[in-house]
Amino acid sequence: MSSNLQQKANQEMKQNAKQDFQQESKQSTQSINQSMKRGVVLRVEKYRLTLLSTAILCGLTACNQTNIEPLQGSEKEVHTELLEQEMMADRQVSQQLQKQSRMQSKQLNYAALSSAPVSSRVIEPPVAAEKMNTENYSVSLSNPVKQVNSNPLSTFSVDVDSGSYSNMRRFINHGQLPPKDAVREEAFINYFNYQYSTPERIDTPFKVHSEVANAPWNNQRQLLKIGIKGFEIAKADLKAANLVFLLDVSGSMNAADKLPLLKTSLTMLTKQLDENDSVAIVVYAGAAGVVLPATAGNDQQTITNALNKLAAGGSTNGAQGIELAYQIAQENFKEGGVNRVILATDGDFNVGTQSIDKLKEMIAQKRDTGIALTTLGFGQGNYNDALMEQLANIGNGQHAYIDNINEARKVLVDEISSTMQIIAKDVKIQVEFNPQQVAEYRLIGYQNRLLANEDFNNDNVDAAEHGAGHTVTALYEITLAKTDNKYIDESRYQTNALTETSTDHLNDQELAYVKVRYKQPNSDVSQLISQPVMVVDKVTKQSDDFKFASAVAGFAQLLKGAKYTGQWQYQDVINLAVESKGEDPFGYRAEFIQLVRTASALQ
C-alpha cells in the first residue's frame, strides 16, 4: 500500500515539475518574442528617423542652395525598399529565435522528467595566484657617530663581498629600488678596483694606503680612506684546487636566472682549471647525491656534460647537501692547495631536519680543517641574502650574487685569483683616532663585520681570509677637533680633563694610527703591520679613486635613507662619478653612473 502511494507521489512530483518547466519555457519564449518585436519596432523607428533627418537636412540646405532638388520618385523607392528589406531581416531573426526557444523548451521538459534535479552554477575563469616575495635580508642600520674621547678605537674584520652591489643592480634593472637592508655600503665600495701599489713579497702580503679629503656631502666633515692591497699571484702560479660544486636543483631553481645561469657560470669557471685541479658535483633537492665524482679539471667534456644534465625539481634539503659536499671535499683534500665547497643556490633552505644554527656550527668546524665555503646567489623572489652571506662569512669564503653572465665572468674568471688563492687569514683592521685632531668618526659600512676592540690581538678570534691581489677599502667620515659643527655636543665634565692629561703623549702630527693584523695561511700566530695617517695641513688634490669611492659610498647611503648625507642628491653622485670615472677597461664605472641615473628616475 505504501509502495503505491509512493509511486503516485513521485508521478505527481514529476507532472508538477513538467508543468512548471513548460510554464517557464512559455514565459521565456513570450519574453523573447516581445523583445524581438521591440527590436523590430526600434529598427523601424530608426529608419523613419533617418528618412526624416535626411528630409530635414535637404530642406535646410535648400534654404541656402536653391539648386538642390527634392527627392525624386526613384530615390523615395530606394529608401522604402531598404526599409522593407531591414524589416524582413528582422522577421527572419525573430523566427529563428522562436525556433531556438522551442528547442530549449523541449530540453527543459526532458530535464523535468529525469529523476535527478538539474543544478546550475557560474564557473569563473581561473585566477593566477600572485607570486609572493619572500626574499630575506639581515637588518642593517648605518653605523652611528662615535666620539673619539670616549671611543678612540674602531675594529673590524676585512670580510668584503660584492653580492649586495650586484643584487642592487638586479633591483634597479627591474625598475625597483632595493630594500634598505639589502644595501651594504662596504660591498658597494669594494665592488670596484682602486689603484693601490702591490706588495713586492708574499711574506709581507699587504700594503696599507690612506688618503684624506673633504666629504662631498658635507664640507664640515672629512673622509679618511684606508685601503690594503694583497700580493698578486698569476693564474699560472695558483695552487692546485679541490673544488666541490654543491648545487641546488630544487623546484625553486626552475627559472632562467637560476639553474640555467648557474650551469653556464660554473662552466666558465671550470675552463680556468687544469689537470692538477679536481671538480666534484653534489646536488640536492628533496635528497642529496653525487652526480660527478672528483674529476680532473682538464676533463672539460665530462664536467660540462654533468652540468648540462641537471634539471630543477623537488623541495630543498640544503643541510644534507652541505654535509655530503664537505665529505667529498675531505676525501679529495689537497695538502697545501685550495680546498673549497662552492654552494650555488637561491638560499631557499625550506626542508631539512637540521636547524640553521647547527648548520653554521658544522661549517665552522669544517673551516678549521682547511675547507672553505664560497656562496653564489641566484634568482629573485625567494633569494635568502641573509643566510648566504652568513654562511660564507663563517666558512672563510666569499659571497657573490650572480645576476647575469657578465657578473659570472667577473667573479669566476677575471677575479679567480682573489676568489680561490688565499694569501692571509684572520685579517683584522684597527684604527685609533687622535683626540687632539679628530673629535668624531663614523665607519661607512662593515656593520656585521665589527669586532670588539680586545678581539684585535686575540688570535683565537676568527676573521676574514684575503685573496691574492684582492683590495679592501674602508671609508671613515670624521669631524676634526677644531670644527665647531659637530654631531655630538662635547662633554661638560670630561673633555678638558682628557685634553690636559693627554697633550704630552699624543703626536699632534698624526690624524690616526692604522694597524692590520693577519696570519699566514699555514700559521696560527698573527703578524702586525701598522702605520700612521698624517695630518694634512692644506687641501690637496683628491685622486680619481678617492672621489669615485666617495660617490659610490654616497649612493649607498642615499639608498639606505640618507641619514648623514644632508642635501646631497643622486645628481650630485652622478656629477662626482662622471668627473672621477678615470680608466674603466671593463665598463663597471660607466655602468654605475647609469644605475644611479635610473635610481634617480625611480625615486
DSSP assignments along 301-317, one per residue:
HHHHHHHHT----S---
Write out pLDDT tens, residues 236-293.
888 999 999 999 998 889 899 999 999 999 999 999 999 999 999 999 886 678 999 9
Query: How far is residue 322's CA from residue 397's CA, in Å, rounded to a whole number?
Result: 15
Least confident of 315-329, 398-412, 443-457: 315-329
Give the residue with greater pLDDT, 601 vs 90: 601
Q: Please, which residues bridge with residue 374 across strands? A: 342
Phi first, then psi: give them for residue 447, nearest 5 degrees: -60, -40
Place of cell 679618511: 224
The CATH number of domain 235-420, selected from 2.60.120.10, 3.40.50.2300, 3.40.50.410, 3.30.2310.20: 3.40.50.410
* DSSP-derived 3-state class of residue 326: helix
C-alpha cell at 261: 645561469
Task: Say if residues 165 and 186 touch (Cβ distance below 8 Å).
Answer: no
In tens, the pLDDT along 542-577 reads: 999 999 999 999 999 999 999 999 999 999 999 999
Are 578 and 596 contacting, i.e. CB atoms less than 8 angstroms apart? no
Residue 40 makes CB contacts below 8 A (sequence gap 6+) with 87, 90, 91, 94
Q: How far apart are CA 236 and CA 367, in angstroms?
A: 26
Give the three cell numbers for residue 593. 653612473
In this prediction, residue 158 has a pLDDT band, given cuts at 50, 70 and 90, of very high
Model pLDDT, residue 293: 96
- Residues 569-584 have pLDDT tens digits of 999 999 999 999 999 9
C-alpha angle with apex 136: 130 to 141, nearest 5 degrees?
130
Q: Is the pLDDT of residue 353 over 90?
A: no
| Selection from 186, 591, 522 nearest residue 339 by Cα | 522
Evaluate if residue 30 carries a pLDDT over 80.
Answer: no
Ranges of each domain in the chain: 2-113, 146-233+421-491+501-602, 235-420
CA-based angle 458:212:159, to the nearest 5? 35
Give pTM, 2 decimals: 0.76
Which triple of cell numbers denotes residue 304? Answer: 660540462
**CATH 1.10.3720.10 corresponds to the domain 146-233+421-491+501-602:** no
Residues 6+ apart with CB under 8 A from 304: 267, 270
Q: Which residue has the higher pLDDT, 484 or 107?
A: 484
Give alpha helix (H) positions in 378-415.
385-394, 405-409
Q: Check: CB of residue 376 under 8 Å from CB of residue 408.
A: no
Calpha distance 577→573 (Å, rounded): 6
Q: Which parts of 336-412 fold into alpha helices (H)?
A: 356-368, 385-394, 405-409
Which pLDDT score is estimated for 298? Answer: 94
Q: CA quadruple 85, 90, 91, 93: dihedral positive or negative?
A: positive
